[in-house]
Amino acid sequence: MSPIGMVLESEECPQLKKVKRLADLTSFFKPTSVAIVGASSKEGKIGNAIVKNIISSGYKGKIFPINPKDKTIESLECYPSVLDIKENVDLAVISVPAAGTLKVAEECGRSGVKNLVVISAGFKETGHQGLNLEKELARICKENNISMLGPNCVGMMDTHVPLNASFAANFPPKGDIAFISQSGAMLVAILDWSMVNGLGFSKVISLGNKANLTESDFILEAAHDPVTRVILCYIEDVADGEHFLRAAREATSRKPVIILKSGVSQAGAQAASSHTGALAGSDLAYSTAFAQAGVIRSTTMAELFDLAVAFSRQPIPSGSRVAVITNAGGPGIVTTDRIEHHKLTMARFNKNTVEGLRTSLPAEANVYNPVDVLGDAGADRYRLALEKVMTDESVDSAVVLVCPTAVTNAEGIARVIIEAHRSYPEKPMFAAYMGGEMLAGGAHMLNVARIPCFTFPETAIAAIAGMSAYANRKSAGKPVVMGEIQGVDRHVVKEIFQRVKADGRLVLLGSEAARVMEAYGIPSAPTVLATSPEEAMEQAEIMGFPLVMKVASPKILHKTDVGGVKIGINNVEEVSNSFLEISENVHKYLPRVVIHGIELQKMMPRGIELIIGMTRDVQFGPLMAFGLGGIYVNLLKDVAFRLAAGLTGPEIEAMIAETKASTLLRGYRGEEPADIKAVTNIMVRSARLVTDFPEITEMDINPVFAYKQGASALDVKITVS
């Protein structure tokens, strides 16, 4: 069968089978009752702030403060322990010293409390001892089937329940943005900031140390939450790569997920012995995972929230064609530049629109995109322009620019924009009110009407770009699982690896690697090992000529330099002579190196030189590379990456298309195109190989020769652990 359309996610793939069932968080977010362990009556204490927050958020369920020293807290009856509550407790918020949390968690387990929010600090973040405490806490939760947020977190909020189970000072207005943050400080800062900026949230979650529930659980929960329209995350790492990929894929098929992942520079480049590893760098697995899962990655906090506002308040555009309406030329050009910068398209109006604009607007107005309604435009002229532009089928979104002039009626224009948005609710609209006081009233009206209004047009265009990226992801649809790849012999590979390990080696010999290729149906240059001239001659007769002969020793990196390579060998005599010559050369240069023999490889015709490689990421597993190969691979750096997990045929095609190598493959300067299907086949089978064998830590096939018909793996380097 054709490898195109194939997904590396069959039932036979052991790596992807053990997917965890996600927790049911219904009672976590909508508890009928909440206990606060460590509740306090003392103003300024966290245990007091939590109780007050729960009360003031308008929570309708029962509230049980727990503290052995108090009778009542905030006029509520106080209990010595969760064991003393005779009613059902859905959620317990714990704010006691770290050492005390284990006992509390055990009591919760015994009382049947299924959800914990552990506010207490003093765990993993404090060092070794704290880490042990945290592991113990996690174990107790697992044994008692408890879902736990934290420890070391600010808490969580649900504005629709409503419930503020946190010690944060601000409880935001109801909204449709779910915000999940690994940094408590960031969460508090954002809440404070959003109060001024009128942002509403559905759920707010402070992840803390993620000892039990992780970002993936909450992403999935928010994905299924009917009132959440967009999911925002700030994370510093991902707790479980596989779990995250599944959760994010599912979430992005339902609604946008925007993530600010920090710590880009923290990990540092790993020491890598392969080309692929050296090219991948430390942050690449994350950006690849996000891209493959359809997550929008934001690089700044400003971008994160501009996108949140856009997704929350406007529909997703059905395409990338933007219309611009302006009352001044300069800002129109700046906006056009940004549209091009973000690889969006300036909408090309159809004839009717252009004619309509020509009839409605003054003669000097520009009736093409950007539409210039001129400096003396009142609200009416904006209305005329918007009516024409918004009905045009070739417009997917619109940005309205307003510069202050003597006649500018900022409020009037705002009303016109709001009206147009109501008439065409399916097309996203943005405004840029470029000024201060003269335009403030109109800008405020727009924001109240949920039409994002920025000071500068570039913010609007960046937001549209993010939305379009998501729209493209959605329209790409879900990959189709196509089943198993034919002609794969795992047993052979297993045996080879066992032998290599028994031999105390980490790197396969060329002949061994060639047999691994063969076992996985990857066409490669026949390669055999000979330990004597006679064996070499025998093998050569079977293999045929011309041949290349190379010393077989993973210890020798530059075989040519020690006289360890002979090319263009055409008969058995030359084979015999070369065997002896290579042996002597190597012995002369490197008398102490033990060689495994001499390898014979069939000389292959030259093709387009490619690299197909893999480096294994700690979090996300095999990361596949494709690009221009040969000795300049690290110089040209023309390499695209994809995670092997769930890799599809269309994704491999996209991966190839990203590289300059694809230009060569399609036929450069009038040459015939190469067999891209054959290259894709090698990629699919390589991805399967490294997925099937987690002991492969790195693999470089460099070069792969691509021909007009077929492709072939030449040099294969496989490192195992």
635 touching a second copy, by CB under 8 A: yes
- At closest approach, how far in Å is the CB of 677 from a second copy? 22
For a second copy, which is the closer residue by CB, 443 or 549?
443
Chain positions 208 to 267 lying near a second copy, rule: CB under 8 A, are: 234, 236, 260, 262-266
- At closest approach, how far in Å is the CB of 3 from a second copy? 26
- At closest approach, how far in Å is the CB of 334 from a second copy? 5
Two tokens, residue 582: 């290579």
Chain positions 329 to 348 lying near a second copy, rule: CB under 8 A, are: 329-331, 333-334, 336-341
- At closest approach, how far in Å is the CB of 119 from a second copy? 13
For a second copy, which is the closer residue by CB, 301 or 507?
301
- 57 near 87, Cβ under 8 Å? no
Looking only at the bridges linking them, the beta strands covering 345-346 and 397-402 are unpaired
702 touching a second copy, by CB under 8 A: no
Q: Kindly tell me which residue out of 126, 287, 318, 394 binds a second copy, with binding defined by CB under 8 A.
A: 126
Task: Point out which residues pair with 64 in neighbouring strands.
Answer: 35
Query: Given the rule CB under 8 A, which of 51-59, 485-493, 661-669, 687-695 is the region that contacts a second copy?
Result: 661-669
- At closest approach, how far in Å is the CB of 706 from a second copy? 15
Chain positions 481 to 540 lying near a second copy, rule: CB under 8 A, are: none
Chain positions 37 to 66 lying near a second copy, rule: CB under 8 A, are: 44, 49
| Tokens 């830590």, residue located | 697
- At closest approach, how far in Å is the CB of 447 from a second copy? 15
The one-character DSSP state at 503 is T
Q: Return d(Cα 597, Cα 539) in angstroms, integer.
A: 13
120 touching a second copy, by CB under 8 A: no
Q: Kindly tell me which residue out of 83, 302, 448, 476 binds a second copy, with binding defined by CB under 8 A.
A: 302
Two tokens, residue 586: 């190597």
* Residues in CB range of 127: below 8 A, 6 or more apart: none
The one-character DSSP state at 624 is E
Shortest CA distance to 464 belongs to which of 313, 327, 354? 313
Q: Return d(Cα 597, Cα 348) in angstroms, integer.
A: 68
Q: Kindly tell me which residue out of 4, 13, 195, 507 binds a second copy, with binding defined by CB under 8 A.
A: 195
Q: Kindly tell me which residue out of 106, 136, 380, 458 binds a second copy, with binding defined by CB under 8 A.
A: 458
For a second copy, which is the closer residue by CB, 560 or 570?
560
Q: Return d(Cα 281, Cα 624) in angstroms, integer.
A: 13
For a second copy, which is the closer residue by CB, 335 or 511?
335
Query: Given the rule CB under 8 A, which of 297-305, 411-419, 570-578, 639-647 is the region that contacts a second copy?
Result: 297-305
Q: Kindly tell me which residue out of 53, 164, 314, 459 binds a second copy, with binding defined by CB under 8 A.
A: 459
Looking only at the bridges linking them, the beta strands covering 33-37 and 91-94 are parallel
Cβ atoms within 10 Å of 378's Cβ, excluding its own:
15
270 touching a second copy, by CB under 8 A: no
Q: Return d(Cα 416, Cα 51) in angstroms, integer.
A: 47
* Residues in CB range of 560: below 8 A, 6 or more apart: none
The verdict on whether omega for the bond into residue 317 sits within 30 degrees of 0, i.e. cis, is: no
Looking only at the bridges linking them, the beta strands covering 621-628 and 155-158 are unpaired
For a second copy, which is the closer residue by CB, 168 or 220?
168
Two tokens, residue 685: 């089978």
- 150 near 46, Cβ under 8 Å? no
The one-character DSSP state at 225 is -
For a second copy, which is the closer residue by CB, 317 or 331?
331
Q: Kindly tell me which residue out of 364, 491, 591, 592 binds a second copy, with binding defined by CB under 8 A.
A: 364
Between 490-502 and 510-519, two packed helices, what is the crossing angle to 10 degrees? 160
For a second copy, which is the closer residue by CB, 172 or 277?
172
For a second copy, which is the closer residue by CB, 267 or 481?
267
Query: Given the rule CB under 8 A, which of 184-192, 382-390, 502-510, 699-707 is the region that contacts a second copy?
Result: 184-192
Cα pseudo-dihedral 212, 213, 214, 215, rounded to 10: -170
Shortest CA distance to 510 belongs to which of 692, 701, 680, 691? 701
Q: Return d(Cα 169, Cα 44) in angstroms, integer.
A: 11
Chain positions 309 to 328 lying near a second copy, rule: CB under 8 A, are: 327-328
Chain positions 558 to 577 lying near a second copy, rule: CB under 8 A, are: 558
- 711 near 682, Cβ under 8 Å? yes
Chain positions 12 to 41 lying near a second copy, rule: CB under 8 A, are: none
For a second copy, which is the closer residue by CB, 176 or 609?
609
- 720 near 697, Cβ under 8 Å? yes
- At closest approach, how far in Å is the CB of 171 from a second copy? 14
* Residues in CB range of 69: below 8 A, 6 or more apart: none
- At closest approach, how far in Å is the CB of 406 from a second copy? 7
Q: What is the CA radius of gyration of the chain?
A: 32
Chain positions 593 to 632 lying near a second copy, rule: CB under 8 A, are: 631-632
DSSP three-state, residue 350 = coil
For a second copy, which is the closer residue by CB, 184 or 479?
184
- 703 near 629, Cβ under 8 Å? yes
- At closest approach, how far in Å is the CB of 375 from a second copy? 6
User: What number of chain residues touch a second copy (CB under 8 A)?
Assistant: 74
465 touching a second copy, by CB under 8 A: no
Two tokens, residue 702: 């460099």
In the chain, the N- to C-terminal Cα span, in Å, equals 32
Chain positions 664 to 683 lying near a second copy, rule: CB under 8 A, are: 664, 668-670
For a second copy, which is the closer residue by CB, 253 or 366?
366
Q: By rule CB under 8 A, what string of x and - marks binding of each residue 423-452 to a second copy?
A: -----------xxxxxxx------------
Shortest CA distance to 617 belongs to which of 237, 282, 293? 282
- At closest approach, how far in Å is the CB of 254 from a second copy? 27
169 touching a second copy, by CB under 8 A: yes
403 touching a second copy, by CB under 8 A: yes
- At closest approach, how far in Å is the CB of 554 from a second copy? 19
- At closest approach, how far in Å is the CB of 280 from a second copy? 17
What phi, psi does 368 have (nearest 5°)?
-100, 170
